[in-house]
Amino acid sequence: MSVRSERTKVPAGARPTRRIRAVRTVSGLSVSGLSVRLDVRAALAGLLLLAVALAAAVALVGSGDYPMTPSEVLSTLTGGGTTGQEFIVQELRLPRVLVGLLVGAAFGIAGAVFQTVSRNPLGSPDMLGFAQGSSVGALVAIVYFHSGPYGVAAGSVVGGVATGLAIFLLAWKRGVHGYRFVLVGIGAAAMLYAIVLYLLTKATIHEATRATTWMTGSLNGRDWDQVWPLAAVCAVLVPLVLGYGRPLRMLEMGDDAASALGVRVERVRIVVLLAAVVLVAAGTAAAGPISFVALTAPQLARRLTRSPGPNLLPAALMGAALLVAADLAAQGLFGADQLPVGVLTGILGGGYLVWLLFTERKAGRV
């Protein structure tokens, strides 16, 4: 911090005073005119979440009917394992773990975008109809077109994107405002859930069982065919959303304040919402509508970093850590592939939602 001051001219006999002209606080680094602000707590929290996600991923790769120690997993990943270990890790378990990490990161960063734009801690894809839209698309592919895994994934993406565009257009009135966006999303969720129930009544026993299993949300049986498309989507859209971190932080101050600071409010909303919708649709297509990760990850990340703003990167890391840790816990408690991870996240997320509503009501915000 640098302070510039000067003594003012005073009449004879009077006590001299000191007038402060400017106070400037500089945090971060400045090189050749480039200023970088570093939040130490947020950086440490991000590193901690990354370490937790990677540790849970290694433990998850080593769990199953053929257990492996972390050292054996790391040795196999670096090419030092036996032929059997390489097959188990590379073909059976690693794709599942990568899908979990990517889906968790996609849901976490998308949830942070929705909550920032809506300015509501309950504004997440779980609550606003996007997961239900993806479910409708997948059920249409199963019931009416008898599609395979690729057709179901395509139907899920189409349903999620179409739902996002419909909600966005219905909520538009000289721009998209958080309160109207949340109300339209909740109404759309109720209507789409009714369509899901109707489609289940039209399905055969086999189709209904398959649809119910998909809607539960699971990482079971995931392979490289799910990894590569999801990785491509995340590689494009996650950096895009992170690039809008500063404008999103300004949006939390209100549209007028953000516009005064040079933010093109509606353009930022449109870009980040479309990116978040596609991330949610791609994640849902890969693993099903795993509930409450998008709701809880941004909230927990913000409480951990204690930093203002959307905390996009910590939310993504928190989502990845939560989903992989939940899958690891499900396997450890109930055995391999016995409990879909969506069931466990639903139980834990429901408890978190009750606690969140209680604290918001106690604070007088709901």
Taking only the tens place, the pLDDT of each residue in 118-175 is 888 877 887 888 889 999 999 999 999 988 888 999 999 999 999 988 988 888 877 6
pLDDT score of 22? 38
Domain membership flag for residue 4: no
Residue 119, domain CATH? 1.10.3470.10
Specify the pTM: 0.84
d(CA 210, CA 118): 34
Q: Domain span at residue 317?
A: 94-334+341-361
Domain membership flag for residue 319: yes
Instruction: pLDDT band for 265, please (50, 70, 90 cuts).
Output: confident
Q: DSSP string of 48-69?
A: HHHHHHHHHHHHHHH-SSS---
Q: What's the pLDDT tens digit per position in 39-60?
A: 788 889 999 999 999 999 999 9
Instruction: pLDDT band for 269, please (50, 70, 90 cuts).
Output: confident
Count of domains observed in the chain: 1
d(CA 347, CA 336): 19
What 8-state DSSP symbol labels residue 34? E
Q: Is 35 helix (H, G, I), strand (E, B) or coil?
A: strand
Q: DSSP string of 310-354?
A: --HHHHHHHHHHHHHHHHHHHHHHH-TTTS-HHHHHHHHHHHHHH
Q: Tell me what the pLDDT averaged over the chain comes to.
A: 84
Domain membership flag for residue 101: yes
Domain membership flag for residue 318: yes
Q: Is 10 helix (H, G, I), strand (E, B) or coil?
A: coil
**Mean pLDDT for the stretch of residues 300-316:** 89
Domain membership flag for residue 65: no
pLDDT score of 38? 66
Closest CA to 250 of 184, 304, 211, 308: 308
Q: What's the pLDDT tens digit per position in 271-290?
A: 998 999 999 999 999 998 99
Domain membership flag for residue 2: no
**Mean pLDDT for the stretch of residues 349-362:** 78
pLDDT score of 33? 45
**Mean pLDDT for the stretch of residues 176-201:** 87
Domain membership flag for residue 17: no
Domain membership flag for residue 209: yes
